[in-house]
């Protein structure tokens, strides 16, 4: 059951929820509330040890209890335990325990979730804005509460099938020949590849919808050439528009009055990569329409994948911040720079970036109302990526495109995916990558993943290999790195053979992953789940923070510790461990419910198949274009009988609901102990592999 509560008068409709139930007039259950200096505070006691799940993109645990998270989209690349805000604002959580409920705080502004941090026995939710909405969701299980919430916020974005292939990216590819080289080196090393990301280097002077004439002058040919090999380009688009006469987006935006305004009504100025920029007012439908149709420049080249960046929006500096900094420089220049002055200088320089004073100094025009940015801050990236998605739908109807964004808010999940931002080549970021998956899935973000190998910092063979072993399951599998660190393409490493085999395993898993992904999107389910969601009565499972369920049939327990040749795993039921060093080299190990140490050398990846479940596997190929999901192997851990609903489609049109996309695969054990197969679709060729121990 979902109930909606109105607090004050919301300043704008976030469009997080499209179909709103009528508001309830009774007081909100579970919570008491008070107006405080920081905003409206909703307070609720927490049962001892009861976990709290959700909040999407954030640091720390799957169980979010014990920290104070502040949802005000930011771009801090230090994803450490004390980071309160990341790039997304995903205000949905579920309180578990004897009483279980979900809460969604629908607000475009800053919302703080103090989950047993200030007071270990309390949840305090503080909305800085007086006007906001709260949805209270009750159900009989964690899964049911999430499903209800997901139905409320609408169907999650489904990208084209090729977007599930391996993506190679790097900030710093200098020219189109370097891109060609990445493709050919990957091919020479026998590593599957579906797309190559183009970072800001491809643009002319960091202007959106341009290509550097000298280095990327042949972008259209490049796209065509690679397209013929089944490899797509995925260029970046940034939020800021360079202030430069002749820059079409700048000229048109100024003329039409489409940029956000400063106090005086002039186009607001803030700096990003090109230096001083204006920022489209993406909250306005006509601005989204205008900006979105500029993607035509790239779609005309056959490009159908895009990433949207710096859309928190990140402001490196404003004229105000710069002037203030220069004043401080002058003030301390001729001093001895003692500790206080030195600190002041450093802090002032640091505070130029993403400063709240600046976010309070520009305005949107929403339905003719002038609205100061900081009150609707969390909607900016959402509406930037929505601009792309809406216009691409218009330009390429019934055709799926890849769009993923850095900043987001609930609502964007209907239009695009997100990546987890500028992480580091740290072992603990493998774990963070995994932990964020279920929380993001709860909030509707299914198409997500992290920069594999880590964005900042130098990666090593073993780190990249272990990361690939996790990323083999994440819908977005993109290796991306910063221009300041060592290169990270797998073919450059000594152990590239292992990396190739891990990426091939990803392709082998694709028929299962794609099937599970689309079904979860259509049904409002989570593809990645904490163990507690599947085994709520199992106290041990509820505390597990480094294993998750993936789809209907699998549990993963990635290795995220350097020099480890295995790890401890908790099995909440009997399962078969599948240990692979390539798609062909497999071992099936039956394991009983309980604690185990499972060994997995660096070249071995392990995952676990649940009892009476099966997964669909394919034959890896150079890329998804060359894969045939009509020939599959079904890996079964089935004692008596079981059925699986296998989803597949052409991968690019939007006819998702067509019943022809589902094949029911049933296996049953006959009197001789052999598995027999029944399928609803004879066009899918199925080979059954029996991994059930008792019967082999």
Minimum Å distance from CB 575 to ligand GLC? 37
How many residues of this chain interact with ligand GLC, rule: CB under 6 A? 9
Q: Toward ligand GLC, which CB reaches closer, 239 or 550? A: 239
Please check whether residue 126 is in contact with residue 486, taking contact to mean a CB–CB distance below 8 angstroms: no
In the numeric block, which tokens belong to residue 155? 């169907």
The minimum distance between CB 353 and ligand GLC, in angstroms, equals: 12
CB of 662 to ligand GLC, least distance (A): 37
Choice between 191 and 482, CB closer to ligand GLC: 482
Q: Is 393 helix (H, G, I), strand (E, B) or coil?
A: helix
Phi, psi of 176 (to 5 degrees): -65, -30
Give min distance, CB of 456 to ligand GLC, in A.
9
Told to check if 204 binds ligand GLC by CB under 6 A, we report no
What gap in Å lies between CA 49 and CA 52, rounded to an integer? 9
- Site for ligand GLC contains 312 (CB under 6 A): no
Please, which residue, 422 or 574, has the CB nearer to ligand GLC? Answer: 422
Ramachandran quadrant class, 30 (left: phi over 0; alpha: psi -120 to 50; beta: rest): left
CB of 112 to ligand GLC, least distance (A): 25
Q: Provide the minimum distance between the beta carbon of 179 and ligand GLC in the complex, in angstroms, as a whole number.
A: 15
Nearer residue to ligand GLC within complex by CB, 73 or 581: 73
Between residues 200 and 580, which has the closer beta carbon with respect to ligand GLC?
200
Residue from 128, 133, 304, 309 binding ligand GLC (CB under 6 A)? 309
Q: Which residue is nearest to ligand GLC (CB)?
A: 171
- Cα–Cα dist 148/146, whole Å: 5
CA distance 317 to 325: 10
For residues 561 and 548, give the distance between their C-alpha atoms in angstroms, rounded to a whole number: 17
* CA distances to 36, 109, 373 from 132, in Å: 15, 9, 16
- What angle is formed at CA 565 by the lines to CA 560 and CA 570, rounded to 5 degrees? 65
Using the minimum distance from each CB to ligand GLC, give the nearer residue, 76 or 630: 76
- CA-based end-to-end distance of the chain: 47
Rounded CA separation 675/673 (Å): 7
> Would you say 236 or 518 has its CB closer to ligand GLC?
236
Site string for ligand GLC, 417-456 (x = CB under 6 A): ----xx----------------------------------
Task: Work out how close the CB of 402 gets to ligand GLC at its nearest, in angstroms, rounded to a whole number.
Answer: 15
Provide the β-strand partners of residue 333: none
- Per-residue DSSP letter, 190: T
- Residue 400 or residue 480: which is nearer to ligand GLC going by CB? 480
Between 451 and 633, name the residue whose CB sits nearer to ligand GLC: 451
Residue positions counted in the chain: 696
The DSSP secondary-structure symbol of 553 reads: T
Q: Which residue has the tokens 């609903």?
A: 645
Interface mask (CB under 6 A) for ligand GLC, residues 393-422, using x and -?
-------------x--------------xx
We find the least distance from the C-beta atom of residue 406 to ligand GLC, in angstroms, to be: 5
Kindly tell me which residue out of 15, 199, 312, 358 binds ligand GLC, with binding defined by CB under 6 A: 199
- Tell me the sheet residues that pair with 95: 52, 101
Query: CB–CB of 553/527 below 8 Å?
Result: no
Min separation Cβ 223 and ligand GLC, Å: 20
Do the bridges between strand 232-238 and strand 195-198 make them parallel or antiparallel, or are there none, so unpaired? parallel
Name the residue nearer to ligand GLC (CB basis): 309 or 358: 309
- Which residue number, 146 or 200, has a Cβ lying nearer to ligand GLC? 200
Nearest to 635 by CA among 692, 575, 683, 557: 692
> Which residues 223-252 are close enough to bind ligand GLC by CB under 6 A?
236
Burial (0-12, 13-18, 19+ Cβ within 10 Å), 528: buried
State how far Cα 507 lies from the chain centre.
20
Q: Which of residues 480-499 bind ligand GLC (CB under 6 A)?
A: 480
Helix, coil or strand: residue 331: helix
CA pair distance 476, 437, nearest whole angstrom = 11
Least separation in angstroms between residue 202's CB and ligand GLC is: 10
Scanning residues 359 to 378, which ones bind ligand GLC (CB under 6 A)?
none
Cα–Cα distance measured from residue 256 to residue 240, given in angstroms and rounded to the nearest whole number: 16
Structure-block tokens of residue 492? 């450059």
Q: In whole angstroms, give the CA distance from residue 99 to residue 690.
A: 42
CA separation for the pair 142, 498 (Å, rounded) = 38
Least distance (Å) from ligand GLC to the CB of residue 75? 7
Report residue 201 as tokens.
Answer: 């280097």
* Nearest distance from C-beta of residue 201 to ligand GLC, angstroms: 8
**Residue 353 or 586 having the CB closest to ligand GLC:** 353
Neighbours of 666 (CB within 10 A): 15
Backbone angles phi, psi at 78, to 5 degrees: -90, 85
Nearer to ligand GLC, 172 or 217 (CB): 172
Q: Compute the least distance from the CB of residue 142 to ligand GLC, in Å.
A: 32
Q: How far is the CB of 73 from ligand GLC (least distance, A)?
A: 13
DSSP 156: P
Residue closer to ligand GLC (CB basis): 247 or 407: 407
Report the nearest approach of ligand GLC to the CB of residue 421 (Å): 6
Which CB sits closer to ligand GLC, 312 or 574? Answer: 312
Among 7, 53, 92, 171, binds ligand GLC (CB under 6 A): 171
200 near ligand GLC (CB under 6 A): yes
Helices (H), 239-373: 248-256, 285-293, 296-299, 319-333, 339-350, 356-359
Residues within the interface to ligand GLC (CB under 6 A) = 171, 199-200, 236, 309, 406, 421-422, 480
């Amino acid at each position: 059951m979902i109930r909606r509560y109105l607090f004050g008068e919301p300043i704008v409709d976030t469009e997080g929820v499209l179909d709103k139930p009528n508001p309830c007039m009774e007081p909100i259950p579970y919570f008491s509330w008070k107006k405080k200096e920081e905003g409206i505070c909703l307070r609720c006691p927490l049962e001892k040890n009861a976990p709290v799940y959700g909040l999407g993109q954030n640091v720390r645990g799957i169980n979010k209890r014990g920290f104070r998270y502040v949802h005000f989209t930011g771009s801090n690349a230090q994803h450490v335990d004390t980071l309160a805000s990341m790039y997304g604002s995903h205000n949905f959580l579920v309180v578990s325990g004897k009483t279980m409920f979900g809460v969604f705080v629908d607000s475009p502004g800053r919302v703080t979730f103090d989950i047993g941090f200030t007071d270990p026995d309390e949840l305090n939710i503080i909305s800085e804005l007086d006007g906001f909405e709260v949805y209270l969701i009750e159900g009989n299980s964690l899964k049911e509460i999430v499903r209800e919430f997901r139905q409320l916020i609408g169907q999650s974005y489904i990208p084209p099938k090729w977007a599930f292939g391996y993506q190679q990216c790097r900030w710093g590819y200098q020219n189109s020949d370097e891109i060609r080289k990445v493709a050919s080196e990957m091919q020479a090393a026998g590593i599957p590849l579906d797309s190559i990301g183009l970072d800001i280097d491809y643009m002319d002077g960091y202007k959106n919808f341009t290509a550097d004439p000298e280095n990327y002058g042949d972008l259209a040919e490049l796209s065509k050439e690679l397209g013929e090999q089944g490899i797509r380009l995925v260029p970046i688009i940034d939020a800021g528009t360079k202030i430069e006469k002749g820059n079409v987006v700048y000229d048109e935006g100024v003329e039409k009055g489409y940029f956000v305004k400063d106090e005086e009504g002039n186009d607001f100025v803030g700096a990003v990569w090109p230096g001083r920029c204006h920022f489209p007012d993406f909250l306005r439908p006509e601005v989204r329409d205008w900006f979105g149709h500029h993607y035509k420049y790239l779609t005309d080249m056959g490009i159908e994948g895009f990433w949207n960046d710096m859309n928190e929006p990140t402001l490196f500096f404003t004229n105000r911040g710069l002037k203030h900094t220069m004043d401080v420089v002058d003030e301390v220049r001729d001093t001895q720079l003692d500790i206080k002055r030195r600190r002041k200088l450093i802090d002032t320089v640091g505070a130029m970036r993403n400063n709240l004073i600046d976010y309070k100094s520009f305005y949107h025009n929403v339905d003719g109302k002038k609205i100061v940015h900081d009150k609707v801050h969390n909607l900016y990236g959402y509406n930037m990526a929505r601009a792309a998605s809406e216009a691409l739908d218009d330009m390429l109807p019934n055709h799926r495109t890849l769009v993923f964004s850095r900043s987001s808010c609930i609502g964007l999940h209907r239009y695009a995916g997100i990546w987890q931002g500028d992480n580091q080549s740290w072992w603990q970021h493998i774990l963070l990558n995994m932990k964020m998956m279920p929380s993001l899935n709860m909030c509707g973000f299914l198409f997500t993943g992290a920069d594999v190998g880590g964005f900042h910092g130098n990666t090593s063979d073993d780190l990249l290999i272990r990361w690939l072993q996790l990323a083999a399951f994440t819908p977005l599998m993109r290796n991306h790195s910063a221009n300041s660190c060592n290169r990270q393409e797998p073919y450059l490493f000594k152990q590239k053979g292992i990396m190739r085999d891990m990426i091939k395993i990803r392709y082998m898993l694709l028929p299962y992953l794609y099937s599970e992904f689309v079904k979860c999107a259509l049904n409002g389910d989570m593809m990645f789940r904490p163990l507690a969601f599947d085994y709520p009565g199992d106290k041990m499972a509820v505390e597990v923070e480094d294993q998750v369920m993936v789809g209907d049939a699998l549990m993963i327990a990635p290795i995220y510790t350097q020099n480890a040749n295995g790890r401890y795993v908790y099995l909440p039921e009997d399962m078969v461990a599948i240990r692979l060093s390539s798609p062909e080299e497999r071992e099936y190990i039956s394991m009983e419910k309980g604690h185990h140490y499972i060994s997995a050398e660096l070249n071995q990846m392990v995952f676990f198949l649940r009892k009476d479940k099966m997964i669909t596997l394919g034959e890896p190929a150079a890329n998804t274009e060359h894969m045939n999901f009509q020939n599959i192997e079904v890996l079964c851990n089935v004692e008596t009988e079981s059925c699986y609903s296998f989803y597949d489609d052409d991968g690019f049109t939007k006819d998702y609901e067509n019943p022809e996309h589902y094949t029911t695969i049933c296996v049953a054990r006959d009197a001789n102990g052999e598995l027999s197969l029944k399928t609803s679709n004879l066009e899918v060729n199925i080979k059954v592999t029996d991994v059930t121990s008792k019967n082999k």
